[in-house]
Structure 1
Amino acid sequence: MEIIMQQHLEEAKRDMDKAYAHLQDAFVKLHVGRVVPTMLQGLLVAYYGNPTPLHQLASIQTADARTLAIQPWEQQAIPLIEKAITESQLGFATKNDGRVIMATLPPPSEERRKALVKLIKVEAEKSRIVIRNLRRDYKEIVKAAQKEGISENELKRSEKKLQELTDLYIDKINHLLALKETDVLSI
């Protein structure tokens, strides 16, 4: 039975890793003055009437700290890409020279930085909720195993390990939040 409990704890760890990775991805997409190509990763372009991910239509590179250079594979995609970037409300200003689109991110105002801090706090809280829900779900699995013959001591040990795992991931989320908040406010 101990092996089964260990497998459940490993599954819980994998699921908590996914929740933490999701938060990291969400934080990367929140721009704070420096641009990275992944900021446009989820952007869809209406290409021939089909929503197509931008990275399938063009190469995206960092030109400088505030500018992305987007070079479409086909020139007729330039106005469609520009329109998608403008409508995305990511805050980029675009211009093109007929071959390359330059998407520039203006420096964030104090108001924008405060809004970003609120947004990252909301994202962090969502991740904490996911972690706590995973703890609850796996705790139910552990309790169900008691009916299958697991001892009371093994049950308590498993619940304690599950709580330690939960605390670890909550601490990781809090640390990541503190770093991101400092990053946003120091621009």
Structure 2
Amino acid sequence: MSDDFVLDTDDLTRRMEGAMANLRTEFASLRTGRASGSMLEPIMVDAYGSMTPINQVGTVNVPEPRMVTINVWDKGLVGKVEKAIRESGLGINPQLNGTIIMLPIPELNEERRRELGKVAAQYAEHARVSIRNVRRDGMDQIKKAKADGMSEDDQKLWEGEVQDLTNTYVKKVDEALENKQEEIMQV
């Protein structure tokens, strides 16, 4: 057993990449003063008895830099979509025009920018925790292999590899956070 242990670093990398993908999705949902269809992605609408992503009940468009429109396909869902947007915490006031919901994106004030910066930092911290949990899983696998007879040199080698992978992804999270905070603070 001792010589044939191979840590599945591809699995660890895939899981850390998943944490990064989740962070990108959360960052996309943060409103920065510019219109973006992705800011509506986390919003779920109670449609046909189940919670459905907003982009599955209508077409989301960005016709101009400070406007998002949603063309709701089913007239009966317009009210539910509007309610979901109001309750989402985005701070946007939807305007109805038949089956089209218009979302004018207001300028962000300084206080709101700081709040969004803090939210972005929280999202980044969650991603770091997820990455560290993956690291812990990898380290546990190594400890188990050590107990099964792995040499100390091999243990150090694998632990170093897991730590390098962790450091790489934590650095990516920090860079993404820095970029998002710059974007938020941009007037």
TM over 0.5: yes
State the AA in 1 paired with 2:121.
Answer: K
CA distance, structure 1, for counterparts of residue 3 and residue 56 of structure 2:
47
CA distance, structure 2, for counterparts of residue 59 and residue 20 of structure 1:
27
Change (3 A) 1:121 1:3: farther
CA distance, structure 2, for counterparts of residue 67 and residue 3 of structure 1:
58
Corresponding residue for residue 51 of structure 2: 51
Change (3 A) 1:50 1:17: closer
Deviation at 1:50, TM superposition (A): 4.1
Decide whether the 8 Å contact of 1:5 with 1:142 is kept in 2. no
Deviations 1:73-127 (CA, angstroms, capped at 9, x unpaired): 1223222222221222211122122131111121111000000111111111121
CA distance, structure 2, for counterparts of residue 160 and residue 16 of structure 1:
16
State the AA in 2 paired with 1:15.
Answer: R
CA distance, structure 2, for counterparts of residue 103 and residue 97 of structure 1:
11
Corresponding residue for residue 138 of structure 1: 138
CA distance, structure 2, for counterparts of residue 65 and residue 35 of structure 1:
5
Task: Say how many residue pairs are matched.
Answer: 186
CA distance, structure 2, for counterparts of residue 86 and residue 2 of structure 1:
59
Give the superposed CA RMSD: 1.7
| 1:11-90 aligned within 5 A | 11-48=11-48, 50-90=50-90
State the AA in 2 paired with 1:175.
Answer: E
CA distance, structure 2, for counterparts of residue 77 and residue 131 of structure 1:
39
Change (3 A) 1:48 1:151: closer
Deviations 1:128-148 (CA, angstroms, capped at 9, x unpaired): 122122212210111111122
Decide whether the 8 Å contact of 1:33 with 1:108 is kept in 2. yes
SS in 1 for 2:52: strand
Deviation at 1:42, TM superposition (A): 2.4
Q: Which moved more, 1:143-152 or 1:176-185?
A: 143-152
State the AA in 2 paired with 1:182.
Answer: E
State the AA in 1 paired with 2:23.
Answer: L
Corresponding residue for residue 154 of structure 1: 154
SS in 2 for 1:111: helix
Which TM-score applies when normalising by structure 1? 0.91
Decide whether the 8 Å contact of 1:57 with 1:72 is kept in 2. yes
Identity %: 33
Task: From the two aligned structures, give the one with the greater helix fraction.
Answer: 1
Which TM-score applies when normalising by structure 2? 0.91
Decide whether the 8 Å contact of 1:29 with 1:38 is kept in 2. yes
What stretches of structure 1 of length at least 5 have no aligned partner?
none
State the AA in 1 paired with 2:42.
Answer: G
Decide whether the 8 Å contact of 1:45 with 1:80 is kept in 2. yes
